[in-house]
């Protein structure tokens, strides 16, 4: 493991709205042009961009550095758009000065495994390879740094998404196979993620000991909260208000914690293995992971991890299992076991529908179509459902809809992917 070491404040500074420091540019640097000029993508890299079923798909291969380089090279303009736009619009009340000083200095206590650092360094190098000169962040009037990419991969430490997820199997579905679903909603904003979402497939070398993965994401970050690995394990990440952290140093960004677990967890003891990897990282903010898997046991095929930075309570992770006699489990953005649950109309609505199916004695089933209908009923007022994913891991299928023209994702075109086909390159 490697620490990113800078002098200054801890990551707690990210949450302090009162931090304001003066920004100054170095006089030693040559003058920069703040409008990036991008060359055409002619270099042969370890990745491709293609459109499959009207969804953009980026396929990467090779070492983490080579994958990162291809990612940065192919998506350079969009990555700079995301970084610049977030600084300008979404970090409320936080000026370029706060980003430049406090955010950068807060990386002092971030702990990121070498392979991810190599990927982010590759991304930076790939971006610069597309730029006519070194890539710059216009709002900061300086060159892009590795630390900027690290900060946007701390996305969920700063900005929360409102998500809904559930899974059902056994008597709940027509053939007993699991259906696992997620909505990802975020507020309407002048800085839009619409038309920026894509699938990222990472094919890991066989000698790496890591599983290949598929991620729903936006440019510059590992995932926007949904991933599948080549063993058919589904991990949906949701934000939550956790218990107070017991430490604020040596922190792993929560998305990287979850992605590390997804790359290393196979079907052999999936629940214990995934949970132990979550526990091996120290995080700061609360999160929920809906984990779905084919054929784990005869009684359930999904569970929920509630995890935060309080390591005095079950080592930071509480596993929530389905209730006896219920072949389903649901979650929104609230802990339900790790601390007292709060009232959530989205959770109640999903549970009411799932209870109805469970109590129907085989006259009702959860189908893919009914899952779409249920997810279309739970957007938060003022939010946009950016994407909706419905997975059938036993069948190897993923169904996906992304928001188009400011419509909620379930109302838009739905695409179906054979998961193994995405890994076949």
Domains in the chain, start-ordered, CATH in brackets?
2-21+44-156 (1.10.439), 161-423 (3.60.60.10)
pLDDT confidence bin for 10, thresholds 50/70/90: very low
Which residues, other chains included, contact 43 with Cβ-Cβ below 8 Å and sequence gap of 6+? Answer: 73, 129
Whole-angstrom Cα Rg for the chain = 21
Which residues, other chains included, contact 108 with Cβ-Cβ below 8 Å and sequence gap of 6+? Answer: 4, 5, 6, 7, 8, 9, 10, 11
- What pLDDT is attached to residue 11? 39
Among 142, 135, 4, smallest CA distance to 72 is for 135
Mean pLDDT of 60-72: 97
pLDDT, tens digit, 9 for 90 and up, residues 163-190: 999 999 999 999 999 999 999 987 666 5
Of 73 and 2, which is predicted with more confidence? 73
pTM of the predicted model as reported, rounded to 2 decimal places = 0.89
pLDDT, tens digit, 9 for 90 and up, residues 263-312: 999 999 999 999 999 999 999 889 999 999 987 554 679 999 999 999 99
Bridge partners of 48, per DSSP, are 59
- What pLDDT is attached to residue 90? 59
pLDDT, tens digit, 9 for 90 and up, residues 375-425: 999 888 878 889 999 999 999 999 999 999 888 999 999 999 999 999 999
pLDDT, tens digit, 9 for 90 and up, residues 86-109: 887 755 545 667 777 766 777 778
pLDDT, tens digit, 9 for 90 and up, residues 136-151: 999 888 999 999 999 8
Chain-wide mean pLDDT for the chain?
Answer: 86
């Amino acid at each position: 493991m490697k620490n990113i070491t800078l002098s200054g404040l801890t990551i707690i500074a990210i949450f302090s709205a009162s931090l304001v420091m003066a920004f100054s540019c170095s006089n030693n640097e040559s003058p920069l042009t703040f409008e990036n000029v991008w060359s055409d993508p002619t270099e042969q890299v370890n990745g491709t961009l293609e459109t499959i079923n009207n969804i953009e798909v980026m396929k990467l291969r090779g070492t983490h550095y080579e994958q990162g380089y291809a990612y940065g090279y192919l998506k350079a303009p969009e990555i700079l758009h995301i970084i610049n736009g977030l600084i300008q619009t979404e970090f409320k009340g936080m000026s370029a000065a706060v980003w430049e000083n406090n955010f950068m200095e807060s990386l002092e206590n971030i702990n990121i495994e070498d392979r991810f650092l190599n990927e982010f360094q590759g991304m930076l190098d790939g971006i610069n390879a597309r730029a006519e000169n070194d890539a710059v962040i216009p709002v900061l009037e300086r060159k892009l740094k590795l630390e900027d990419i690290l900060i946007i991969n701390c996305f969920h430490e700063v900005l929360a998404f409102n998500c809904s997820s559930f899974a059902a199997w056994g008597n709940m579905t027509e053939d007993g196979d699991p259906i696992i679903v997620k909505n990802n909603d975020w507020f309407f904003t002048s800085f839009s993620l619409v038309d920026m979402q894509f699938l990222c497939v990472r094919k890991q070398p066989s000698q790496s000991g890591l599983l290949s993965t598929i991620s729903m994401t936006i440019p510059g970050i590992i995932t926007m909260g949904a991933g599948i690995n080549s063993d058919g394990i589904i991990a949906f990440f949701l934000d939550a208000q956790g218990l107070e952290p017991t430490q604020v140093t040596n922190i792993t960004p929560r998305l990287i914690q979850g992605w590390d677990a997804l790359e290393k967890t196979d079907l052999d003891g999936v629940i214990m293995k995934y949970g132990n990897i979550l526990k091996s990282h120290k995080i700061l903010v609360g999160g929920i992971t809906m984990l779905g898997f084919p054929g784990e046991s005869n009684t359930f095929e999904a569970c929920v991890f509630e995890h935060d930075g309080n390591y005095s309570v079950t080592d930071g992770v509480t596993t929530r299992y389905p209730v006896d006699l219920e072949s389903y489990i649901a979650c929104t953005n609230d802990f339900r076991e790790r601390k007292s649950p709060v009232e959530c109309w989205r959770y109640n609505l999903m549970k009411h529908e799932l209870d109805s199916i469970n109590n129907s004695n085989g006259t009702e089933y959860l189908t893919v179509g009914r899952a779409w209908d249920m997810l279309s009923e739970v957007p938060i007022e003022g939010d946009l459902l950016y994407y909706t994913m419905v997975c059938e891991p036993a069948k190897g299928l993923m169904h996906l809809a992304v928001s188009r023209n400011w419509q909620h994702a379930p109302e838009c075109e739905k695409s179906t992917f054979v998961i193994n086909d995405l890994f076949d390159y």
